[in-house]
Amino acid sequence: MRIALIGYGKMGQAIEKIALERGHKISCKVNSDNPIEQVDFSQTDVAIEFTKPELATKHIIHCIDASVPIVVGTTAWQEELEAIKAICLDKSGSLLYASNFSLGVNIFFEINKRLAQLLSDHPEYQAEVEEIHHLQKLDAPSGTAIDIAKGIVSFNQNYSGWKTGLNEKPEVKNDELPIIAKREPDVPGTHTVNYISEIDTISLTHQAHNRKGFALGAVIAAEWVVNKKGVFTMSNILNS
């Protein structure tokens, strides 16, 4: 399979390593020195995109117009998701997006929903989400933390929304879920859900040791989506 790398930072380099190990080829690399408008996609089977939120939708539309399936790991662009879905379906494109491609994180999402459901009738347990990422991460909270919060809000009747504090716990209303977004040097990513009561604390944590899990998941997603049409997420892969 011939893969275009859109974004060639640390994640792009990790994806390249995994892709080559799995027998794929890198057809081209898009970065600030080689913008997507100047790249020939005629020898590309699928693209993997990890760049900046303000660039993601442009890259997605470019790949749809070029009839190249695209896997997107960039977060914080999803306010434009419905418009992108409409474009993708209208042009018979292929898009797979995720806030996190790690298999472990996607299992974490499912456990998080079940835990939220179990504690929905126990308001004495106050929930909070904490995420820790490297200093270069631009969005706060992370896309993964937002998906965790959505899972809690959907399955725990005590919460209707969330509020973020950067490096500290925000003041919240009774029905708001606090998210603490911490930025520290050289951290691949840690996400924790705490349910705290007067008598005990229940914690659920996923800690990434390196970028390999994210890179492997992105390549697996590219392998899965290459011959499909439509808009997909990691849940489609896990349940296929």
Catalytic residues: 133, 137
Ordered DSSP codes for 107-141: HHHHHHHHHHHHTTT-TTSEEEEEEEEETT--SSS
3-state class (DSSP) for residue 188: coil
Looking at residue 193, its amino acid is: V
Q: Alpha carbon 217 to chain centroid distance?
A: 11
Q: Are 180 and 131 in contact (CB under 8 A)?
A: yes
> How many Cα neighbours within 13 Å face the side chain of 138?
9
- Interatomic CA distance for residues 149 and 89, integer angstroms: 28
- Interatomic CA distance for residues 219 and 225, integer angstroms: 10
